[in-house]
């Protein structure tokens, strides 16, 4: 079984990118240890700190963020980092080639109840003559990503990674290495599973309500087949299920705050997960256009997200087609 480094070298990846990905995995191993010890290490629970997203930070949010910062900023190839937990990016080596964007601990509301969480990351190349302490340096379309992936901290620690040549899965072994366990993951084209937070149903657009309503009617409705609903409230865990066995994951636009086109962040969640899903044969959309084609306007920009099995995403977009002209502005809000 190949280690992550051996696999990347055998696929002729740049040496600096290999070293960078290995350092991200070193960080994730540290985070996995902290999560495993949990209450024994006194790392559970919330702080009295609110992050830039307006969310109360968990102790492990802060710990995971600091682990990644410490391990990444001393690398020569890292020109800067941007974190969901930081107000502004942090510059690294001014001669560095790469920018790293990350959500250090996705799904952290699940920590205290011992449910799966994860780390999401995206790697971009520095554009010429940019100040990597300024958000503008990071505002690149999702299709410009060099690599993206996540580590799911579940019964095992699992890495799913793409460098633009498919999605490959690795598992953290007792030797401390991430070992290759599956190459070229493929999302089944059709599905009978969907993941969405039904408690927000009353706030959705009519088209989304109509679509989900038809899923719930199952074989008795227009879809003429039964669907199962799954919801973990950790994007990493929900997307991992989609990558593993198909499905559709949705966090759509709602009207609780019309100025925010969604709950999830484009740079830290939408883009890396969309890159992975498309590389595995699935689709990712705002319901009105491809997420990877959005021109980001600010580092903490939010986006509505629907991703997963190709046939189901196309069906979802058909439900929204009639409203596309009236709501196209949401794509770049």
Does 61 share its domain with 150?
yes
Domain final position from 182, 202, 232 = 182
Task: Please tell me the pTM assigned to this model.
Answer: 0.93
Predicted pLDDT at 46: 61
Provide the number of structural domains found in the chain.
2
To the question of whether residue 105 is assigned a binding role by annotation, the answer is yes
Instruction: Give the tens place of pLDDT for each residue, 190-221.
Output: 999 999 999 999 999 999 999 999 999 999 99
To the question of whether residue 108 is assigned a binding role by annotation, the answer is yes
Does 54 share its domain with 28?
yes
To the question of whether residue 30 is assigned a binding role by annotation, the answer is no
Instruction: Give the tens place of pLDDT for each residue, 56-91.
Output: 677 888 999 999 999 999 999 999 999 999 999 999
Does 153 share its domain with 209?
no
Q: Does 45 have pLDDT greater than 70? A: no
Q: What is the 3-state secondary structure of the chain?
A: CCEHHHHHHHCCCCHHHHHHHHHHHHHHHHHHHHHHHHHHHCCCCEEEEECCCCCEEEHHHHHHHHHHHHHHCCCCCEEEEEECCCCCCEECCCCCCEEEEEEEEECHHHHHHCCCEEEEEEEEECCCCCCCCCHHHHCCCHHHCCEEEEEEECCCEEEEEECCCCEEEEEECCCCCEEEEECCCCCCCCCCEEECCHHHHHHECHHHHHHHHHHHHHHHCCCCCCCEECCCCCHHHHHHHHHHHCCEEEECCECCCCCCCCCEEHHHHHHHHHHHHHHCCCEEECCCCEHHHCCCCCCCCEECEEEECHHHHHHHHHHHHHHHHHHHHHHHC
Does 107 share its domain with 234?
no
To the question of whether residue 314 is assigned a binding role by annotation, the answer is no
Instruction: Using pLDDT thresholds of 50, 70 and 90, give the confidence band for residue 54.
Output: low
To the question of whether residue 269 is assigned a binding role by annotation, the answer is yes
Predicted pLDDT at 331: 47
Does 27 share its domain with 78?
yes
Does 247 share its domain with 167?
no
Confirm whether 93 is domain-assigned. Answer: yes
To the question of whether residue 26 is assigned a binding role by annotation, the answer is no
Does 75 share its domain with 199?
no
Q: Does 118 have pLDDT greater than 80? A: yes
To the question of whether residue 106 is assigned a binding role by annotation, the answer is yes
To the question of whether residue 193 is assigned a binding role by annotation, the answer is no
Confirm whether 281 is domain-assigned. Answer: yes
Q: Does 239 have pLDDT greater than 80? A: yes
Does 33 share its domain with 65?
yes
Instruction: Using pLDDT thresholds of 50, 70 and 90, give the confidence band for residue 41.
Output: low
Q: Does 112 have pLDDT greater than 90? A: no
Please give the residue range of the domain that contains residue 130.
4-182
CATH number for the domain that contains residue 262:
3.40.190.80
Predicted pLDDT at 302: 96
| Average pLDDT in the chain | 92
Q: Does 282 have pLDDT greater than 50? A: yes
Percent of the chain with pLDDT over 90: 82
């Amino acid at each position: 079984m190949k280690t992550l480094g051996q696999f990347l070298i055998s696929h002729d990846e740049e040496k600096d990118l290999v070293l960078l990905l290995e350092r991200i995995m070193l960080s994730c191993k540290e985070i996995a240890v902290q999560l495993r010890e949990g209450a024994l290490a006194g790392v559970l629970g919330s702080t009295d700190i609110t992050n830039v997203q307006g969310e109360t930070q968990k102790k492990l949010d802060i710990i995971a963020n600091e682990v990644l910062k410490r391990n990444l900023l001393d690398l020569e190839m890292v020109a800067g980092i941007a974190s969901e937990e930081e107000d502004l990016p942090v510059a690294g080596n001014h001669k560095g080639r790469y920018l790293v964007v990350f959500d250090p601990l996705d799904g952290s509301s699940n920590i205290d109840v011992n449910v799966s969480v994860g780390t999401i990351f995206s790697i971009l190349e520095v554009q010429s003559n940019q100040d990597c302490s300024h958000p503008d340096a990071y505002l690149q379309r999702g299709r410009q990503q060099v690599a993206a992936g996540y580590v799911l901290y579940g019964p095992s620690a699992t890495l799913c990674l793409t460098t633009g040549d498919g999605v490959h899965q690795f598992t953290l072994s007792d030797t401390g290495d991430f070992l290759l366990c599956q190459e070229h993951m493929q999302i089944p084209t059709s599905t009978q599973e969907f993941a969405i937070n039904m408690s927000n149903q009353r706030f959705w657009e009519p088209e989304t309500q109509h679509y989900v309503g038809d899923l719930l009617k199952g074989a008795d409705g227009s879809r003429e087949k039964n669907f199962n609903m799954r919801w973990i409230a950790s994007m990493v865990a929900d997307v991992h299920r989609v990558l593993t066995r198909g499905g559709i994951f949705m966090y759509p636009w709602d009207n609780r705050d019309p100025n925010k086109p969604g709950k999830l962040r484009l740079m830290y969640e939408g883009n890396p997960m969309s890159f992975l899903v498309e590389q595995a044969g699935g689709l990712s959309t705002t319901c009105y256009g491809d997420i990877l084609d959005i021109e980001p306007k600010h580092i903490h920009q939010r986006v509505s997200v629907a991703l997963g099995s190709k046939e189901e995403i196309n069906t979802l977009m058909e439900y929204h087609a009639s409203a596309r002209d009236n709501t196209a502005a949401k794509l770049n809000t």
